[in-house]
Homo-oligomer: A and B are copies of this chain.
Amino acid sequence: MKSFFVRLFVLAVLSFDSVNLWAQELQWHDPLATDGVLEGRGWEDIGYNRLPDDAQAKVREPVWNLSRDATGLLLRFTTDADQVQVTFVPGKKLSMPHMPTTGVSGLDLYSRAADGEWLWVRGRYDFSEEKIAYSFLTPNSTGEEREYQLYLPLYNSVSDLKIGMASSAKFTFLPKRPENPIVIYGTSIAQGACASRAGMSWPNILGRSLDKPLINLAFSGNGRMEPELIEYIETLKASVYVLDCLPNLGPGGGFTEEIVRERITHAIQALKAAQPDTPILLVEHDGYSDGGIDSARKEIYTNLNLWTKAIFEDLIAEGIEDLYLMTREDIGLGMDDYVDGTHPTDLGMQRYADAYIKHLTKILD
């Protein structure tokens, strides 16, 4: 945006203090050098990744590759700095045709206000394939320490991440929260496609809104309710398991009604066997925005949801407890909530999050 760059320039000229800051020596902090501060991982010592090393031999290659994307990872810290700089080395492509660089590869920072509410923090960014740099501006925080949450990229990997500020500033990483996280197994939508910023994926909106930790095991195009993933998930102590894989179980992938029923049933039974006291939220397909104009597309999600509801009712009848269903109607996406007919925009993500907040607030109560 021209106006954006004009403003950047003006800001650089007007903010004499800011210019001054960058002339100072910065103090850099590496989150991986402090144990137990990177939140959103189900396993320790796996860097900015989402599956442990031994998964490489057990899961399909696309799942493994997508587990290198940093979605759902979160850093918490306090500082009194009035500028916070963050740099990291990204992987592969920085953007997609229908999802901007800020969403695919960008960082997102929120600060907790005095009343406990989250405030979004503006970042000036510089994207290159070699290094991504954000400079977050928090001028009003000068002199007081405040709490921050930094979201890592939704669709890119991260290495060599460092957080820098004036060496005179106070800085402390906060430990990851000890309570059991919400564990999500999902598709591209739960991974974050196509939010415009990391903070706007529905899991991240949810975590911020409920103020709870979560683990995001969503794999774009590859959230297929697979037994080998369930084996990893059932080892995680969770406050609730969310199973939101229907959009990746359509007939295009060779998934018949029999296979879909088998996978959903197996996932729920295996999780209940391993963690009997952990509630499970099963989620329907949210639909496609062109269902009204393409009856073949409407049939896909309609069938998947019919089968899912039937399985849900069967399992309840068999006595499985603490199993819940969130329907397409509960999610309630409208025609203009998607960018490409399949992936929600920020508008759709907010609606998704609203539905999850409503359901999980009751389940976790």
- Chain A residues in contact with chain B, CB under 8 A? 1-4, 6-7, 10-11, 14, 62, 66, 95-102, 111, 113, 118-122, 125, 127, 137-141, 187-188, 193-194, 196-197, 199-200, 205, 220-222, 247-248, 250, 252-253, 288-290, 292-297, 335-343, 345-347, 349-350
Q: How far is the CA of A200 from the CA of B222 in the complex (A)?
A: 29
Q: Are A345 and B343 interface neighbours, CB within 8 A?
A: no
Contacts of A187 in B (CB 8 A): 3
Also in contact, A139 and B296, with CB within 8 A (given A2-B221, A98-B196, A188-B3): yes
Q: Are B188 and A122 interface neighbours, CB within 8 A?
A: no
Q: How far is the CA of A222 from the CA of B1 in the complex (A)?
A: 11
Q: Are B293 and A140 interface neighbours, CB within 8 A?
A: yes
- Chain B residue nearest in CB terms to A137: B294
Q: How far is the CA of A137 from the CA of B196 in the complex (A)?
A: 26
Q: How far is the CA of A336 from the CA of B14 in the complex (A)?
A: 26
Q: Are A196 and B2 interface neighbours, CB within 8 A?
A: no
Chain B nearest CB, measured from A50 CB (Å)? 16
Contact of A341 among B6, B10, B62, B122 (CB under 8 A): B122
24 A-B residue pairings within 8 Å (CB atoms): A1-B98, A1-B188, A2-B220, A3-B221, A3-B248, A6-B252, A10-B252, A95-B97, A97-B127, A98-B196, A100-B100, A100-B194, A118-B335, A120-B338, A122-B290, A122-B294, A122-B341, A137-B290, A141-B293, A197-B339, A199-B336, A200-B336, A336-B350, A347-B349
Q: How far is the CA of A121 from the CA of B290 in the complex (A)?
A: 6
Contact of A252 among B2, B14, B200 (CB under 8 A): B14
Chain B nearest CB, measured from A135 CB (Å)? 13
Chain B nearest CB, measured from A272 CB (Å)? 28
Q: Are A335 and B102 interface neighbours, CB within 8 A?
A: no
Contacts of A293 in B (CB 8 A): 111, 119-122, 138-141
Q: How far is the CA of A188 from the CA of B4 in the complex (A)?
A: 9
Contacts of A222 in B (CB 8 A): 2-3
Q: How far is the CA of A183 from the CA of B222 in the complex (A)?
A: 47
Q: How far is the CA of A84 from the CA of B127 in the complex (A)?
A: 36
Contacts of A122 in B (CB 8 A): 288-290, 293-294, 297, 340-341
Chain B CB within 10 Å — which of A101, A125, A252, A335 has the most?
A: A252
Q: How far is the CA of A125 from the CA of B295 in the complex (A)?
A: 21
Q: How far is the CA of A70 from the CA of B138 in the complex (A)?
A: 37
Chain B nearest CB, measured from A185 CB (Å)? 15
Chain B CB within 10 Å — which of A1, A99, A221, A289 has the most?
A: A1
Chain B nearest CB, measured from A255 CB (Å)? 11
Add 8 more A-B contacts to A3-B248, A345-B345 (CB < 8 A).
A2-B220, A3-B188, A3-B221, A95-B95, A97-B101, A111-B293, A122-B289, A337-B346
Contacts of A99 in B (CB 8 A): 1, 100
Q: Are A339 and B100 interface neighbours, CB within 8 A?
A: yes
Q: How far is the CA of A196 from the CA of B193 in the complex (A)?
A: 12
Q: Are B292 and A113 interface neighbours, CB within 8 A?
A: yes
Q: How far is the CA of A289 from the CA of B200 in the complex (A)?
A: 14
Contacts of A113 in B (CB 8 A): 292
Chain B nearest CB, measured from A208 CB (Å)? 9
Q: Are A196 and B345 interface neighbours, CB within 8 A?
A: yes
Contacts of A205 in B (CB 8 A): 336
